Amino acid sequence: MPTTGPARSTEGSTCIDALTEEAVNAKCRSCDSSGLQLVLSLGETPLANSLLKADQLSLPERRFPLDLVFCPTCALVQITVTVPPEELFSDYVYMSSYSDTMLVHARELADRLRRERRLSGDSLVVEIASNDGYLLQNYVASGIPVLGIEPARNIAKVAVERGIPTLIDFFGAELGQRLADERRHADVIHAHNVLAHVADLNGVVSGIGSMLKDDGVAIVEVPYVRDLIERNEFDTIYHEHLCYFSLTSLHHLFGRHALRVVDVERLAIHGGSLRIFIAKGGPPSSAVGALLEEEGAAGLTSMAYYASFGARVNHLRQQLQKTLAELKSKGSHIAAYGASAKGSTLLNYVGVGAETIDFVADRSPVKQGLFTPGTHLPIVPPERLLEEQPGYTLLLVWNFADEVKRQQQTYHDRGGRFIVPVPDVQIL
């Protein structure tokens, strides 16, 4: 199978040896099948959200294998290594409220569910991985009871300060059953961009089944693997994202727990996502059958569909390396925008660091003053773009390109240009 990526690092070899052994013996996270097939290797990378303080820059960084595989039994695409969730999520740096796009997305969905489900003060809306309350605050404003479940203490604290009741814990079968035993059954359960982060998929789905009312609905949003493959979105692969879903793989997963995918929508957000509606009964919409059929016809259920991905990703890496080298050779200053997890994957895989990029601008005060993992680039407020006016800015959060361009209109008006790296390198 095609693979790309730098040679394996020996840094932190004890940890790496153990995890590599785990990868060799990996079984499917959904159906427990063996015989997983390699799609792409990105080598060994640091944890994408493990931003560094200045006094940590001279210390060794832990690196983990980042290998993408396909399960021929249930069609789930996944990585092989599981980093303990406590290490990834107990103290977190991503806050959804710093994205205007996410705020609009959340408000529109909450308004829609409030109307369609006729939610009231007698209802309960639960969100798994509720972050800083960016979604649930819309229900609270309408007088609808909510419960957030968020394992990151620093993020949950922000939500509580906003008046969002938040349980600091990891969600799974045990917690779902405990809340059900306490008669906290949900009319609506949200799980947005969390299922991909979960090692125990079956535990989370079981917990959803326990908490969901018989006539309730769970809304699950995940990045769509078809968009990842067809648009070369390799940078959405990192250790927090354990799984990359098709509707076919989700259909198998929820069906195993007597839950049904009753509707599906394709979304543009995050470079292409699926929004599925889960219920305990009822017929699926025509959209569900149509997309399942479409995935089968396109080949998403076989390894052949994924076979050329590695070669295309390697070509993109070479293309970006060449573009940046040519700009630097002409004396251009280059910055980056968005200290994101996907940006970490891109920078480390492409091999771009301080020799090329001056700094990374980011709106989040939580990230400012820290440094990017592996590449050690300083993270600064967006105002630095105007203060230093670099000729080019590599857009690491290309999925929010329109939003960033609006926010940085003055930089653009002064002649600054954005480099969009995915799906192909473009200079705007």
Residue 378 β-bridge partners: 371
Rg (CA), the chain: 21
CB atoms within 10 A of CB 406: 11
Our CA dihedral for 51, 55, 59, 63, rounded to 10 degrees, sits at 0
Name the burial class of residue 350, with classes exposed (0-12), middle (13-18) and buried (19+) by CB atoms within 10 angstroms of its CB.
Answer: buried
Report the SS3 class of residue 293.
helix
Q: Which residue has the tokens 């929820």?
A: 254
- Residue 7: per-residue pLDDT: 32
pLDDT in tens, 182-223: 999 999 999 998 999 888 999 999 999 999 999 999 999 999
3-class SS shares of the chain: helix, strand, coil, % to 5: 40, 20, 40
Query: What's the whole-model pTM score?
Result: 0.84
Sequence-distant (6+) residues with CB within 8 A of 230 are none
- Sort strands 379-380 and 212-223 into parallel, antiparallel or unpaired: unpaired
CA dihedral angle for residue 271, residue 66, residue 88, residue 360, rounded to 10 degrees: -60
Bond into 284 cis (ω within 30): no
Neighbouring C-beta atoms of residue 47, cutoff 10 Å? 20
pLDDT tens digits, one per residue of 260-299: 999 999 988 777 899 999 999 999 999 999 999 999 999 9
User: Which residue from 345, 219, 310 is spatially nearest to 4, judged by alpha carbons?
Assistant: 310
DSSP class of residue 224 equals: B
E-strand ranges in 176-311 read 186-192, 212-223, 243-244, 260-267, 273-279
pLDDT band at 407 (very low <50, low <70, confident <90, very high): very high
Domains in the chain: boundaries: 324-427
3: confidence class by pLDDT, cuts 50, 70, 90: very low
Q: How confident is the model at residue 92 (pLDDT cuts 50, 70, 90)?
A: low
Q: What is the arithmetic mean of pLDDT over 390-397? A: 97
Report the residue count for the chain: 428
pLDDT at position 25: 66
Mean pLDDT of 347-354: 95
Fold of 324-427: Rossmann fold (3.40.50)
- CB distance 152 to 90 below 8 Å: yes
pLDDT at 347 over 90: yes
